[in-house]
Structure 1
Amino acid sequence: MANQALEDLISFLEDASASVRRLEEEGEAVLQSGGQPAFQAKLEEKAQLLAGLGEKSQKLVDGVGGDLGAEIARQLDQFSMSAGTALRIGSVFFMTALLYPEDHQPGEPNDLERFIGELKGKAGTTSES
């Protein structure tokens, strides 16, 4: 049951991650055409999605349970807190930087994508046990 909950959580996070990527791409497209307000709106939408990540995934995380569930909850809460802070201060730069470490290189996965990869590894480990 916990393994199914983890797989369901991974699926949920993959959907959220795809939405983040879509919003970033849409934001870049409107920025290229000189649409700074539209760019900011896309970044705010990205930040709102991330700010709600911990709360919206809570039932799935509870289904995972144990130490892994607690670890997942901490990480998702961190994503949510950072996004909430970006929204509160209204910083476009901060919203752009959400999920990207300082040393991020184009083409590398962002922090959410890396986290999903880690969870997939753990799901593979738990299904073999």
Structure 2
Amino acid sequence: MQNQALAELIQYLEEVARRVRQLEEEGDAVLNSEGQVAFQVKLEEKAELLASLGEKTWALTEKIGGDLGDEVVQKLEQFSMSASTALRIGSVFFMTALLYPEDHKPGEPNDLENYIADLKKRA
């Protein structure tokens, strides 16, 4: 049961990571063509997606259980809380920086993608 739940969680997180990348690309495109407001809308979608991670994955993390389940809950809540904070304060900069450490270089995986890779090693 734990392995199946972990596999389902990884699959869901991969979908979220793809959607995040897609929203970021769409945001860059509309920034150049439609301006700052359209860009902010895309970033808000990204932040809302991340803010809902804890809620959307609750059932799966319960099935994983144990220390790993607790760790996953904590990590996903970190992502969720950062995104919720960005939405609450309405900071476009903060929304842009979600999932990216200060030393991130273009083309490198973001924090969610790195976490997914870590989970795959454990599966």
Instruction: Verify same fold: TM over 0.5.
Output: yes
Question: What value does the CA root-mean-square deviation take over the aligned residues?
Answer: 0.6
Task: Show CA shifts across 1:51-78 (max 9, x none).
Answer: 0001100001111110000000000000
For residue 118 of structure 2, what is the amino acid of its counterpart? E
Consecutive unaligned residues in structure 2, runs of 5 or more:
none
Once the 2 structures are TM-superposed, how far is the Cα of residue 32 of structure 1 from its aligned partner? 1.6
Once the 2 structures are TM-superposed, how far is the Cα of residue 8 of structure 1 from its aligned partner? 0.3
2:76 alignment partner in structure 1: 76
For residue 86 of structure 2, what is the amino acid of its counterpart? A
For residue 116 of structure 1, what is the amino acid of its counterpart? I
Q: Quick check: 86-95 or 27-36, which moved more?
A: 27-36
Task: Show CA shifts across 1:60-118 (max 9, x none).
Answer: 11111100000000000000000000000000000000000000000000000000000
Instruction: Name the CA distance, whole Å, in 1 between partners of 2:93 and 2:34.
Output: 17
For residue 59 of structure 2, what is the amino acid of its counterpart? K
How many pairs does the alignment contain?
123
2:17 alignment partner in structure 1: 17
2:115 matched to 1:115? yes
Instruction: Name the CA distance, whole Å, in 1 between partners of 2:16 and 2:57.
Output: 10
For residue 26 of structure 1, what is the amino acid of its counterpart? E
1:32 alignment partner in structure 2: 32
